[in-house]
Structures are given as structure tokens and as C-alpha cells.
């Protein structure tokens, strides 16, 4: 089955998007080409063993940390404390830690919870270098306050989350795909434990998972977003350069059913562009998905206002492509990869967030493969537009309606002027190169002629002749000359 809309000028062969497993359903680029059902099956099969290994590692690291802490305390207090006093101090320390954690989730001691947070901040775990920002502190407090309402279940969730962060600290040398798998395993394991052991309803599980994702990804963001070990940054630059080269694409070429001359529609387009750009400023995958969802809803509203009827999915995808081309969101590929790797899988597999995210992935794939046929253009026109020799907006600017915005008119006039100046500059450069070549040829021709003449008639340079001495000068070499005449005086 292929989706080809001749009316819209967009040709997307969706046979390439079928599930890799061959079940007949469409695959999602965010799930590596699998459909949601096959993704769940493959996910459960391949990661059960890894889940158990991760938890064993986390528990072993926790025991080693406690042993190291106890060893350091014993070496420091050996000179001043007896063995019995050391055992008493160690017991008190463990009791204080347990009490502090319990106070976090006690509904009757809100003042005590604040003291416990201060104590925890003063005594961080030695295995994690906590360079927390204001946002991280705020998210941590919100997470603790949220878990207080779940009492014992909240304590267990808090413990599992801390163990997971400890384990991820030792896994920073792993590839980003392996870190992603560990995170996805953690999401699945926590959700299953809450449903089987805690008997928590699916609605509450979803809320808890959102808070867990927000807490852990706020702390891991600077380590796992666009890491240096991947080519995410290279892909970001490539798609950004590609979108810049496609600046000339008009809504008419994509058959976008949006009329930006309507003020309400223009506002919706601006809001959609703002939301898709704002996605890069968020740190939590769920918040990035929320920006995509808001952008998509503004697009649907713009289409609805323009057509005076509800928008369809066929209208949505071309408009989303146009918004991406017009907004050129920063670090687009990095954000898509980050959401794919670390978002709660249940959110991507179901609901409107997953649907809009899938459309964004399809829009980016279409932009990367966009050619002359996709826009119903000849290859010659497509190449001229891509090279900047001309712009399709020239012909459009001649047919302005009387009510068109003056600022938009001026903008397109300036674009036409820049295009003309670009053509003149290219013409002058070509003529200058031709003149330079002519001058070089003329110089070489003159030099060759001069060389031929010199070879045919060689120039002989004779030494200068000796100058003649004056007759009345004292010249010893001219002894045979008569003496100079003397004046004669005659009488009479």
C-alpha cells in the first residue's frame, strides 16, 4: 500500500514504513521500524535478562558503597573510639538514614521532611558528583512531595530510583544505545512492580511513571543528550543545512491548506513555529513531546479556520512539513533521538503524543528525501531553485491582492531584489573571470612574440668609444701636434 496524493504533490511510499517483522502493520521510525505490537514483543524478549542483571549490579554497588563508608569511618575513629562505641555509632548512623527516608513520605511531619531534605543535601552519596542546578533541586523536591501521597509504595519507588541513578553513574562509558536500553528496562520493571505487587491502578501508574521520568532525566540530561560518542550533532547540521537550502519552497508547492493572509491563521502559524522551536529548551522527553503536541494542535486550528471545517490527517502532514521548513528547529535530530531513546515507551506507543511524534519523524524523513518529483517540478527548475539562481516567489509577488500586508509585500520585494543582485553578481564574476583569462592569454602572446624577435635578431651591445681630448688641453700622448697659436702684434 502506498500513499500518493497527486493533488498535494507529495509522494510518500509507505511500503518502506511497514513493520520489519512482516506482520503487515506500519512500523514507526521511533521504534526502529517495528509496529507497536512487535516492538513490545521484541522488547520483552530481549530485555528480561538484562533487567535482572541491572538490579543485581545496583544492589551490589549499594553494598560496596556501604562497606566502603563503614571502612572509612572505622579507620578515622579507631584512635579515639573503642570497638563498642564504634558499633553504637554505626548503628545510630544507619537508624538516622532510615528515619530520614521515612520522614520524606510521612504525611504528618511536613516540618521534619524539610529537615530531612537539608540533611540529605549536606551528606550526598560519595559515588555521584552532584552538580545540581536550580531546576534539578526543584524537580527533586517536587518528586519527593509527589511520592509522599503513596506512603510505602512511594518509599519503594524512591529507593529503586536512587539505585538506578547510582547504576547509571557507572554506565556512562557505555554506548548511548546501551544506556537507553537500561533506562527502558527500568521503566518497564518499575511499572510491572507497581501493577503486580503494589496493585496500583493503570491511571496512577501512568502519573507515577511521568514523575519518575521527569526526575531521572533531569539529572541525566547533560550526559545523554547529544553525546559526543554519537553522530547526532553531524545529523543536526545536515538537516539544518538542508532546510536552509529549501527556503524557497512555498505552501502552494506542498498544497498546504493554510491561508496566512487571515490574521487568526497567521497567529496560529507563528505559535506552531514557536512551539516546535521551544522543544529544544526542554530537558524531559515528556515536555518535548508536549511541545510537539501543542504545535500540532495549532496546525489543526489553522487548517480548520482556513477551510471552515475540521482538518484531516491528509492536510496535517503537508502543513507540518511546511512548519518545520519555515521554523528550522535547532538540534532537530538530537531531540528526536533523545525522545526515542529515553521517553516512557507507553507514551510513544499510545495516545496523541505518539501520533504527533510519528508524524514529525515522517516529516523529517520527507524533507531529507525531497526532490523535484515530490514538488511536481521539473528537474531543471528544482536545480535552479536549489542553487539560488532564481526564486519561485518572483512570479507570485506580481499577483498581490489589494488587502495584502505591506510588510509582507516589502519583504518579498526585498527577496526579489536580493535575487536580482545575486544574478548580477554571478554574471559580473563570470565576466571578470573571462577578462582575466583574456589578459593572461594576451600577456602570453606578447611575451612569445618578443622572444621570437630576440631569437631572430639578437641584440649585440658594443663597448662605448673613448672620448676625444680637447685640442688645447695638456695631452702628453699627442706630442706631434703643433703648439697652439700665439697672438701676434704688428706695428704700424
Residue 18 φ/ψ, nearest 5 degrees: -70, 155
Give the CATH number of domain 134-224; options: 3.40.50.10490, 3.30.540.10, 1.10.240.10, 1.10.246.120.
1.10.246.120
CA dihedral 471, 475, 479, 480 (to 10 degrees): -20
Q: Does domain 231-387 have CATH number 1.20.1050.80?
A: yes
322 CB-near residues (< 8 Å, 6+ apart)? 249, 251, 254, 256, 258
Q: What is the pLDDT of residue 279?
A: 96
212 CB-near residues (< 8 Å, 6+ apart)? 143, 157, 161, 187, 190
Q: What is the pLDDT of residue 75?
A: 53
Q: Which residue has the cell 563570470?
A: 430
**Which residues in the chain show pLDDT less than 70?**
1-18, 24-27, 29-32, 36, 39, 43, 46-49, 51-52, 54, 58, 61-62, 65-66, 68-132, 393-404, 465-481, 491-492
Q: Cα separation of 268 and 297, whole Å? A: 9
Q: Cα separation of 419 and 406, whole Å? A: 20
Q: Which of 54, 20, 40, 330 is nearest to 169 (CA)?
A: 54
Quote the cell numbers at residue 275: 512551539
35 exposure class (CB count in 10 Å sphere: 0-12, 13-18, 19+): buried
Residue 100 φ/ψ, nearest 5 degrees: -60, -45
Q: Cα separation of 217 and 197, whole Å? A: 25
83 CB-near residues (< 8 Å, 6+ apart)? none
pTM of the model: 0.58
Quote the cell numbers at residue 480: 706631434
Half-sphere exposure of 308 (CA within 13 A, CB side): 1
Helices and strands: H and E segment counts in the chain: 18, 2
Q: Which helix (H) or strand (E) holds 12?
A: strand 10-12
Amino acid at each position: 500500500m502506498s500513499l500518493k496524493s497527486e493533488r498535494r504533490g507529495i509522494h510518500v511510499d509507505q511500503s518502506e514504513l511497514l513493520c520489519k517483522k512482516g506482520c503487515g502493520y506500519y512500523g514507526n521510525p521511533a521504534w526502529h521500524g517495528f509496529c507497536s505490537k512487535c516492538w513490545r514483543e521484541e522488547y520483552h524478549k530481549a530485555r528480561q535478562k538484562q533487567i535482572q542483571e541491572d538490579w543485581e549490579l545496583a544492589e551490589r554497588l549499594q553494598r560496596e558503597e556501604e562497606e566502603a563508608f563503614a571502612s572509612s569511618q572505622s579507620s578515622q575513629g579507631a584512635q579515639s573510639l573503642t570497638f563498642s562505641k564504634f558499633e553504637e555509632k554505626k548503628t545510630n548512623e544507619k537508624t538516622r538514614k532510615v528515619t530520614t527516608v521515612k520522614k520524606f513520605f510521612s504525611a504528618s511531619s511536613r516540618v521534619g521532611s524539610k529537615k530531612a531534605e537539608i540533611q540529605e543535601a549536606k551528606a550526598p552519596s560519595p559515588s555521584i558528583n552532584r552538580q545540581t542546578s536550580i531546576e534539578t533541586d526543584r524537580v527533586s523536591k517536587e518528586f519527593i512531595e509527589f511520592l509522599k501521597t503513596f506512603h510505602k509504595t512511594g518509599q519503594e519507588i524512591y529507593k529503586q530510583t536512587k539505585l538506578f541513578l547510582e547504576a547509571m553513574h557507572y554506565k556512562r562509558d557505555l554506548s548511548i544505545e546501551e544506556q537507553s536500553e537500561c533506562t527502558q528496562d527500568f521503566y518497564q520493571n518499575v511499572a510491572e512492580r507497581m501493577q503486580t505487587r503494589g496493585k496500583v491502578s493503570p491511571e496512577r501508574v501512568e502519573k507515577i511513571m511521568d514523575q519518575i521520568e521527569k526526575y531521572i532525566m533531569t539529572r541525566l540530561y547533560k550526559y545523554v543528550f547529544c553525546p559526543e560518542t554519537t553522530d547526532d550533532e553531524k545529523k543536526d547540521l545536515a538537516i539544518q543545512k538542508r532546510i536552509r537550502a529549501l527556503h524557497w519552497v512555498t505552501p502552494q508547492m506542498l498544497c498546504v491548506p493554510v491561508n496566512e493572509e487571515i490574521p487568526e491563521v497567521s497567529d496560529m502559524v507563528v505559535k506552531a513555529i514557536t512551539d516546535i522551536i521551544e522543544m529544544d529548551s526542554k530537558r524531559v522527553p515528556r515536555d518535548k513531546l508536549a511541545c510537539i503536541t501543542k504545535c500540532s494542535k495549532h496546525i489543526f486550528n489553522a487548517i480548520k479556520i482556513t477551510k471552515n471545517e475540521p482538518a484531516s490527517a491528509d492536510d496535517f502532514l503537508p502543513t507540518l512539513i511546511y512548519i518545520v521548513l519555515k521554523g528550522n528547529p535547532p538540534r532537530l535530530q538530537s531531540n528526536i533521538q533523545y525522545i526515542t531513546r529515553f521517553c516512557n515507551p507507553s507514551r510513544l506507543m499510545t495516545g496523541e503524543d505518539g501520533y504527533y511524534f510519528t508524524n514529525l519523524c515522517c516529516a523529517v524523513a520527507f524533507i531529507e528525501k525531497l526532490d523535484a518529483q515530490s514538488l511536481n517540478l521539473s528537474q531543471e527548475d528544482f536545480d535552479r531553485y536549489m542553487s539560488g539562481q532564481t526564486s519561485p516567489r518572483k512570479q507570485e509577488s506580481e499577483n498581490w491582492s489589494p488587502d495584502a500586508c505591506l510588510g509582507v509585500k516589502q519583504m518579498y520585494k526585498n527577496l526579489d531584489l536580493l535575487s536580482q543582485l545575486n544574478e548580477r553578481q554571478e554574471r559580473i564574476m563570470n565576466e571578470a573571470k573571462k577578462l582575466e583569462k583574456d589578459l593572461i592569454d594576451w600577456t602570453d602572446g606578447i611575451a612569445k612574440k618578443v622572444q621570437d624577435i630576440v631569437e631572430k635578431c639578437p641584440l649585440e651591445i658594443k663597448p662605448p668609444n673613448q672620448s676625444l681630448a680637447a685640442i688645447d688641453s695638456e695631452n702628453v700622448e699627442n706630442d706631434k701636434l703643433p703648439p697652439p697659436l700665439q697672438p701676434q702684434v704688428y706695428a704700424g
